[in-house]
Chains A and B, each alone.
Chain A
C-alpha cells in the first residue's frame, strides 16, 4: 500500500514552518503577559490594522497552501512494483486550483477574452491558409460566441451572491461567539460601531475578499480572469504563485536577521569594551559595502556554486529553492546591521538603570540578566523593525530579479513577471495585464504591510504616546 503522493519538504518549506511555530510560541508568550497584551489590543482596535490583517492573512494562507509540496504518483504503476512518482513538484495550492494551470493556451490572451490575442495561421477545408484569432482552449466548446458578456455577468452575480452569503455566515458565527447578551443584540450594536473593536471593518474587508474570491472562482473554469502570458500560462495563477516567493523573502530573512541583530546588538551594548569595538567594526564593514553590490556578489557566487555542484539538487524545484533560500540568507546578512545598531543604543541606556544594577548586586549572572531583564525591554524595537522591514524586502525582490541577482528565473515571482512583461509594453496593441497584475498584487501586499507597520509602531513605541 503506497500513498497516492509523496510529500516533498523543500528547505524553504521547512523553514517557513519553523517560522510559523516560532510565531505561535511568541504569540502564546505574549498573550500571557499584560505588558504585551495591551499594545496588541491597541493594534486590534484600529480599523486600518484590522483591514490590513485580513489582507495579509489571505496572502499568508495562499503562501502556506503553496508551501505544502508533494510529488504525485504516476498512474501507470503496476501492482507489486515500487510506486513511481512524478518529477514535477506540486503544492496543495495547485491541487485546489486545477482550472488555473491544467490548460495553457498557445500564447497571449486578454483578460476574460474568448479568442487569442494574436492571429495564428489556420488551414481552411479548401486548403487556403488564413490568419485568424483562434478560440481559446479553455471551455472552448461550451460557450455560445455572442453571449460571452451575458455569461460573464451571470457568473459575476453568482460570485457576488456566494461571497455575500459567506460574509453573512461569518457575521452570524461572530455574533454567536461574542454576543453574551444574545446574537441579535450584539449584531445591532456592532452595526452601530459599539462592539468595542472594529467589527464593521472586519466584515467589510472580509466581504471584499470573499466576493473577489467567489467571483474569480465562478469565472475561472471558463475564462482566464487576468489573461494569459506569452507561453499561454494563466496570469492569475502566476501572480498567486508569486505570493509565496514574496512572503518567503519578507519573512525567512528575519530568521537570519533577528538572531544576528539581537545577539550582536545586545552584546555590544551590554558588555562594551572590546566586544563593542569588534561588533561595531563588523557592522561598519558590512554597511560600507553598497547592499545591492554585496547581494549581487553573493548571488553570483551562489550561481557558480549551484552550477558546479549540480548533482546536489535532484529536481528543478530543489535547485530554484536553494537559490531562494540563499537570497533570503544574504538579504538577512546585509540587513541585520541597522537593527543591531538600534539595539546596541537601547541596551546602552538600559544597562545603567537601577533594576539591572539591582539584579547584578543580587548576583544574577550575565546570561540571565540579558534574557530576563534586557531582552524583554528591547523587544518592542525588534518587533517594530521586523514589521517595517517586511515591505522593503518584498519590494527589493522585484528590483533584484530585474538586475539578474534575484530568485531563479524559473521561480514564480513578481520580479520575474515584471521582467518578462516589461518588453511587451512596446507591442501594439499593448499587453498590459501581466505587468498590471504583478504590480497590483505586489502593491496591495506592501501597502497592507506598510499601514500595519505604522499602527504597530504607534502602539509599541513608548515615545509615541503608547507605553
Chain B
C-alpha cells in the first residue's frame, strides 16, 4: 500500500509539471506580457515606458524561457518560467491586480465555499441514491418510467434556471430566505439554505439517472439471482446486496470529487453572493486578473490529482478484491 502511494505521488509530479507548462504557455507564450499590459492599460495610454512599468510591477519583466544576459545557471533560472513555476510549487501565488495576497485570500475564502459544497455533496449524494433506489425498486412499472422521464427533463434544464427560479420564487415572491449574501457564524445557515437546496435539485436529474444505471447493471448479475433463490425479500436483496455492491463505483467516483469541493461552485457562489473561491474565480475572470486565474488552475489540478489518488485508495478499501501493488 505504502509503495503504491509513493509510486502514485511520484507519478503526480510529471503531471503537475505538464499542467504548469500548459498554463504557462496559455498565459505567457500565446500572448506575451506586453499584450497583457496593453490590454490592462487600455489602448490610449500605451507607451513603452508604461508597459515596462506594468511588467515590473507585476513581476513579468524577465525573458520567458531563456535569459541571454544572465551568466551560468542564471540563463535558465532568471526567467519567467522558472520563477513562476517555482513560486507555484512553493504555494506562493503572488499578488492579485488589486495588490492582495492571493494565498491568504484562498485560505479565507475556502471556508464559505466548503460551507456550501459539503452539504450539497453529502445531501445530494444521499438524495440521488435514494431516488435511484426507488426507481429500481419500482423497475419496469410506470413509476420507474415516470421517474426516468423526470430525470431527463430535470437534466435538460439549464442550471441557471434553477438558480434564477429559486431566487425568484423562494426569496423574492415568498420571502422565505434571503436572495443572496453571506455572514459568518451561525447566521450563515440562513444564507446557505437556498443555494444548497437549488444545487441539490439541479444535480438530481443526471445524478439519479447515472446511479440508476449502475444499480440496474448490478441487479442483472448472478449473485442477485442467488440471493432471490435463497428466498430473500426484494427489499433485503435491494439494500443488502445491490446497494452494497453498487455503492463501490458510486463512492469511489464520489471520492474523486471530494478534494475539488474546496474550489466551490462558480455559478452558485457568484449568483448567491457567497464570498468563496468560486465567486473569486468568476470575479477574476471578469476582471481579467491573470495571476488569480493561474493560481486557481494550478490549485484545481493539484486537487484533481489528489482526488485520483484517493479514488485508488478507496477502491482498495471498499472492494476486497482489489489489491494495490
Contact = CB atoms under 8 A, between A and B. Distances in A.
Contact of B158 (A290, A297, A395): A395
A123 interface: no
A426 B294 CA distance: 35
Contacts of A447: 152-153, 156
Given A296-B293, A447-B152, A447-B153, A289 B267 contact: no
Contacts of A290: 260, 263, 296-297, 300-301, 304
Given A447-B152, A450-B156, A289 B22 contact: yes
A399 B286 contact: no
B164 interface: yes
> Which of B22, B158, B281, B285 has its CB near the most chain A CB atoms (within 10 A)?
B158
B123 interface: no
A370 interface: no
Interface in A159-176: none
Interface residues of B, number: 47
Interface string A291-308: 011101110110111011
Contacts of A294: 297
Given A285-B22, A293-B297, A404-B285, A439 B161 contact: yes
A287 B300 CA distance: 11
B26 interface: yes
Contacts of B30: 301, 305
A456 B141 CA distance: 22
B249 to A, nearest CB: 15
Given A290-B304, A443-B156, A304 B285 contact: no
B36 interface: yes
Contact of B27 (A286, A301, A395, A439): A301
A414 B160 CA distance: 11
Contacts of B19: 285, 288-289
B38 A308 contact: yes
A296 B27 CA distance: 11
Contacts of B35: 304-305, 308
A391 B205 CA distance: 14
Contact of A443 (B14, B157, B304, B308): B157
Given A300-B290, A304-B36, A405-B285, A289 B300 contact: yes
Interface in A425-459: 425-426, 435, 439, 442-443, 446-447, 450-451, 454
A262 to B, nearest CB: 22
B15 A300 contact: no
Contacts of B270: 403
A5 interface: no
B155 interface: yes
B31 interface: yes
Contacts of A300: 285, 288, 290, 293
Nearest to A447: B156
B274 interface: no
A447 B150 CA distance: 11
B50 interface: no
B267 A402 contact: yes
B156 A288 contact: no
A290 B152 CA distance: 25
B38 A293 contact: no
A305 B34 CA distance: 12
Given A296-B293, A297-B23, A425-B172, A288 B304 contact: yes
A287 B303 CA distance: 12
B159 interface: yes
A281 interface: yes
Contact of A301 (B26, B168, B260, B308): B26
Contacts of B281: 293, 296
A425 B160 contact: no
B39 interface: yes
A435 B165 CA distance: 10
Contacts of A450: 152, 155-156
A305 B31 contact: yes
7 contacts: A288-B19, A297-B293, A399-B159, A403-B285, A425-B164, A439-B161, A454-B152
- 5 shortest A-B CB distances, which residue pairs? A285-B18, A447-B156, A290-B300, A288-B301, A446-B156
Interface of B: 14-15, 18-19, 22-23, 26-27, 30-31, 35-36, 38-39, 152-153, 155-161, 164, 167-168, 172, 260, 263, 266-267, 270, 281-282, 285-286, 288, 290, 293-294, 296-297, 300-301, 304-305, 308
Interface of A: 281, 284-290, 292-294, 296-298, 300-301, 303-305, 307-308, 391, 395, 398-399, 402-405, 414, 418, 422, 425-426, 435, 439, 442-443, 446-447, 450-451, 454
